[in-house]
Amino acid sequence: MSVEISDILDIVSKQNHWRSKETINLIASENVQSDSVKNIEINDFMGRYAEGHPNTSYQDNRYYEGTQFIDQIESMATQELIMLANCKQADVRPISGNAANTAVALALLRGNDKVIANSIEVGGHISHSPIGVVGRRIQVRGKVLRLGEKKSIDINYWPTTEDGYHLDKSKCVDLVEQISPNMVILGKSLFLFPEPVREIAEVCRSKKIPILYDGAHVLGLILGGKFQNPFLEGAHFINASTHKTFPGPQRGVILGNMNSEQEMKWWNSIDRGVMPGSSSSHHLHTLPGLLVAIREMKLHGEKYASQTIANAKAFGQALTDEGVNVEAREFGFTESHQLALNVTNFGVARNIARSLAEKNNIITNYNMLPGDKDPKNPSGLRIGVQEMTRYGMKEGEMGELATLMKAALIGKSVKDEVIKLRSKYTKVHYA
Ligand SMILES: Cc1ncc(COP(=O)(O)O)c(C=O)c1O
């Protein structure tokens, strides 16, 4: 079969139309970029190289020539992000949240080290697991460890309270005291409520244990000032994606709040973990878009984060009123952009997610809920309202959406109604 360029254009144009005009996207890890962010990504930086750090008037820090303009963009993005996050250091080079986690793991962990993180069963990300970057991609004298090898990382899991959506503060502190890990990781992928950073940081700081907060999902909410600020509670690093609640291009960042000499040693190792550890040239063409998105968040982040969380709570209530099982009801459903639905009374979560997307244009993902054992056959859907909030939906629309979702869950086809609702919300707000 020969592929014509026109065929490729056709597929891309179908995707553009379907996902930006006809579907309700509730995937919690995605977002839509403003036209300014999108348009600026088509530029000459694509395909260029700029390893190292921006050159300055007094020092050469690059391994390539021809970098004067990306030097300006990279320096501005770093400075603007430091100001927005009110922290001391930022590395804008990781090409994704996973690459940011890889950089930190390569920098701070060695064979046989102990880590405490959230397990996948309670919403932790795969990069913190035995099969992810923390568990296996650790170099010991130039060697990459394989899963289960003798010197692999010993990953321990934070104890949760009975509901499974909160960490048990005092048991977590006891665990740190008991095993004295080499690093702790907070934050997760199914992320409804803040983590007890303050309590854990107190004991970790007294033992000089680095505290990484993985804010991949909640970066936009943190920078909008509407979710816990891990730095104010004592975290050393925040790693994040820049395309989830932070509505920028697909990239990652590492933010730091290093003060002491010891902490600066960690930061310098992380610098090498980023380059050459986890990337070389860092997809330069998307960096101007990150700078634009930082500016958008500076101007509109607080309002956007506020409306996103209000929408998530309203959606939780509206779905509950429709008879859908929304998790964590006794805690107000959520304090983030996400909700967790237990859909077992409607069928198999995997099939439901597929049918919502294919038959109804409602895009979600199936997800494990606390207590589930099989990642391929979980009982939940994870949903996030950050994208539809950016398209201007408010609490009232969450009610309409809940009615459509319930109808789809009981097997009706609501594709036409979904397209009709969506057609009123196609312009990006907070831009
Ligand atoms: C907690 C967490 N960390 C890291 C990542 C990986 O981020 P990325 O997809 O930007 O590589 C994700 C992805 O969703 C995540 O949920």
DSSP per-residue string spanning 64-113: SSS-HHHHHHHHHHHHHHHHHHT-SEEE---SSHHHHHHHHHHHH--TT-
Mean pLDDT of the chain: 95
pLDDT surpassing 90 at residue 138: no
Q: Which atom of ligand 1 is nearest to the CA of 187?
A: 1
Q: 135: pLDDT confidence band, cut at 50, 70 and 90?
A: confident
Q: 222: pLDDT confidence band, cut at 50, 70 and 90?
A: very high
242 lines ligand 1 (CB under 6 A): no
Tokens (6 digits) for 242: 């820049």
Q: Specify the residue with its C-alpha closest to ligand 1, atom 7.
A: 97
Burial label for 6, CB within 10 Å (0-12, 13-18, 19+), is exposed
Q: What is the pLDDT of residues 80-122, one digit of tens each?
A: 999 999 999 999 999 999 999 999 999 999 888 999 999 999 9
Spatial separation of the C-alpha atoms in residues 111 and 123, rounded to whole Å: 25
pLDDT surpassing 70 at residue 258: yes
Bridge partners of 89, per DSSP, are: 256
Q: 371: pLDDT confidence band, cut at 50, 70 and 90?
A: very high
Phi (first) and psi of residue 78, to 5 degrees: -65, -50
Cα(232) to centroid(ligand 1), Å: 23
pLDDT number for residue 314: 98
Q: If you average pLDDT over residues 351-373, what whole number do you get?
A: 97
* Of 279, 282, 241, 274, the residue nearest 108 (C-alpha): 274
pLDDT number for residue 130: 84
241 lines ligand 1 (CB under 6 A): yes
Cα(127) to centroid(ligand 1), Å: 8
pLDDT number for residue 31: 98
Residues in the chain: 431
* Of 246, 428, 230, 408, the residue nearest 337 (C-alpha): 246
Phi (first) and psi of residue 236, to 5 degrees: -85, -40
The more confident residue out of 139 and 360 is 360
Q: If you average pLDDT over residues 238-255, what whole number do you get?
A: 98
214 lines ligand 1 (CB under 6 A): yes
pLDDT number for residue 111: 81
Alpha helices (H) in 109-211, listed in sequence order: 133-136, 169-179, 197-206
Q: How far is CA 239 from CA 104, 259, 305, 430, in A?
A: 9, 18, 19, 24
* Of 237, 178, 173, the residue nearest 204 (C-alpha): 173
367 lines ligand 1 (CB under 6 A): no
pLDDT surpassing 80 at residue 145: no
Q: Specify the residue with its C-alpha closest to ligand 1, atom 12.
A: 216
Identify which of 127, 129, 195, 245 to mutate to test ligand 1's pocket (most ligand atoms within 8 A of the CB).
Answer: 127
Cα(58) to centroid(ligand 1), Å: 37
pLDDT number for residue 112: 85
pLDDT surpassing 90 at residue 140: no
